[in-house]
Chain A
Amino acid sequence: MNREDFLMFENNPDLIYFDNGATTFKPKRVIDKINDYYTKYTANAHRGDYDISLKVDKEYEETREVVQGFINSESPNEIVFTKGTTDSLNMIIFGFMRYYLKSGDEVLITKAEHASNVLPWFELEKELGIVVKFIPLTEEYKVTLDNIKKVVTEKTKVISLAHVTNVIGDIRPIKEISKYAHDNNMLMVLDGAQSVPHIKTDVKDLDVDFLAFSGHKMLGPTGIGVLYGKLKYLEVMHPLEFGGGMNSRFESTKELEYKELPLRLEAGTQNIEGVLGLKEAILYLEEIGLDKIHEHEAGLREYLIKRLEEVDNVEVYNPKSESGLVIFNLEGIFAEDTSRYLNHYNICVRAGNHCTKMVKDEIKVKNTCRISLYLYNTKEEIDKLIEVLKESKNIYNIIL
């Protein structure tokens, strides 16, 4: 749906893009907005009292309200602009958890988490002596409350999970997990990189303490993301960057004062084009409706799974996941060879372990091809993929 809004298709009529988990195309509206900012009212935000600067300032702060509405948070002060999910998670872990946790405290993640929800924790483990533990996954690679209970101890203080994983694509029961976490004196951190673009995310309903997501995976620009945190936690979060924009005064006597939230956590000139572009992306998604987008993806996914069954030598590893993410291999063919073969037909899929290097312990195959769908994908594209996969007997004639 809405393909006409994406110039990438106009400029690449034969391209089939199935790598939306990595990044997404941008609608014209987002590109126009960024272009307008650079051609009609370039100025810094928060500074200067001339018209174009005020306009930038106003639109920058309006975006915060748009994000607030989009994820249903309590206050725009709970919305901090970051570089992306990775940046947001690092701020949560090094700006908050570093001071909240102490040696011996336990943090629960899974082996299917993205590197960005793993490595900062590993670093904090080295630094503070916290203990990072893995929630066992079910046979279908899912997270269940029962499995969480198996590894929780009195020392468990945080559960940090992706809402939707970037390899398996299962939707985790976050509301239930959050409730359990809070009933047992734990905090809940949510990595929304793969979920916020695709399913309605309501931070009040899910009752998560922190949420991280990226603009570029939801039709917005690269280099912009969001950190949401409950006000009481953001208030005690330590900035990781100090400098302009985040201080309200400082003296040569070293007396200083930092700004209120959220500006305290946004040091330096911000990614203004990113913020303005993100606003358009969110408004665009809201106009179409995330429910409709999810429905479209679910329909495509069902069709894709059904049609993949027609191809003899394909193995699908996550036939039952709920999101628009399908991982597969051609029997006996290395994933990267398959992606090169598909590339020959202008079909973009991702080969690899998708930044979750530990998941191989769980699914026993180290590398897979991943198809990740979005609103602009079509059944016709899937038909073309199936046609090409059916011809894959001659893969080596194509790629060698």
Chain B
Amino acid sequence: MDSNFRREIIVDNASNPFHKEKKDKDFITANTHNESCIDNIDLYVKVQDDKIVDAYFDGEACAITTSATSIMLKNIIGKSLDEARSIMKEYYKMLNEEEYKEDMLGELNAYSNISKQPSRLKCARLPFETLEKTFHIYETEK
């Protein structure tokens, strides 16, 4: 991906995010609460039989976090928790500049050189860290 294309994906998702809508009933909710930045996003995930059947988010955050959340949701809806976690694993590998499976990440590849800006790395990680929180809630309540 060249840098213009990467930027275009991020800006598109930040300005017109996918599934940005407040939800409450029937969704597992987790917040991005984080010591080091002011991003504040609620993630709403609906899981049935270990499968993510629907997911939304709402709140205020920087362009990186907002866009990464939007893209993450597009990628995980309809997937099993295991499949979502495999995506997460590849994504973290990419952020850490390790070998990773590019074809598993789709638009998430837009963040492939974010490690050049260490202060933005945590913004890029935030959506998945929050997703993991919702999985944890699901698994402990199951």
Instruction: Check: B30 CB closer than 8 A to any chain A CB.
Output: no
Instruction: Check: B136 CB closer than 8 A to any chain A CB.
Output: no
Interchain CA distance A353-B60 in the complex, whole Å: 12
Distance between A150 CB and nearest chain B CB, rounded to angstroms? 31
The digit string for B1-18, where 1 denotes a CB below 8 A from any CB of A, is 000001100110001000
Instruction: Check: B62 CB closer than 8 A to any chain A CB.
Output: yes
A351 touches B11 (CB 8 A): no
B40 touches A366 (CB 8 A): yes
Interchain CA distance A367-B38 in the complex, whole Å: 8
B60 touches A396 (CB 8 A): no
Instruction: Check: B66 CB closer than 8 A to any chain A CB.
Output: yes
Assign chain A's interface to a size class. 10 to 19
Instruction: Check: B105 CB closer than 8 A to any chain A CB.
Output: no
Residues of A19-35 at the interface with B, using a CB-CB cut-off of 8 Å, are: none
Nearest chain B residue, comparing its CB with the CB of A366: B60
Q: Classify the interface of chain B: helix, strand, loop or mixed.
A: helix
Q: A334-B60, A336-B62 are in contact. Are A352 and B10 (CB under 8 A)?
A: no
Instruction: Check: B81 CB closer than 8 A to any chain A CB.
Output: no
A399 touches B63 (CB 8 A): yes
The digit string for A381-400, where 1 denotes a CB below 8 A from any CB of B, is 00000000000000011011
Cβ–Cβ < 8 Å partners of B38 in chain A:
335-336, 351-353, 367
A400 touches B11 (CB 8 A): yes
Interchain CA distance A399-B114 in the complex, whole Å: 11
B7 touches A336 (CB 8 A): no
Distance between A360 CB and nearest chain B CB, rounded to angstroms? 10
Interchain CA distance A332-B17 in the complex, whole Å: 13
Give the total of B residues in contact with A, Cβ under 8 Å: 16
A334 touches B62 (CB 8 A): yes
The digit string for A352-376, where 1 denotes a CB below 8 A from any CB of B, is 1100000000000011000000000
Q: Classify the interface of chain A: helix, strand, loop or mixed.
A: mixed
A396 touches B7 (CB 8 A): yes
Interchain CA distance A336-B122 in the complex, whole Å: 13
A334 touches B40 (CB 8 A): no
Cβ–Cβ < 8 Å partners of A336 in chain B:
37-39, 62
A400 touches B63 (CB 8 A): yes
Nearest chain B residue, comparing its CB with the CB of A400: B7
B11 touches A334 (CB 8 A): no
Partner of A334 from B7, B10, B63, B119 at Cβ < 8 Å: B63
Cβ–Cβ < 8 Å partners of B37 in chain A:
336
Distance between A220 CB and nearest chain B CB, rounded to angstroms? 27
Interchain CA distance A113-B64 in the complex, whole Å: 30
Cβ–Cβ < 8 Å partners of B7 in chain A:
396-397, 400
B interface residues with partner A (beta carbon < 8 Å): 6-7, 10-11, 15, 37-40, 60-64, 66, 119
A interface residues with partner B (beta carbon < 8 Å): 332-337, 340, 351-353, 366-367, 396-397, 399-400
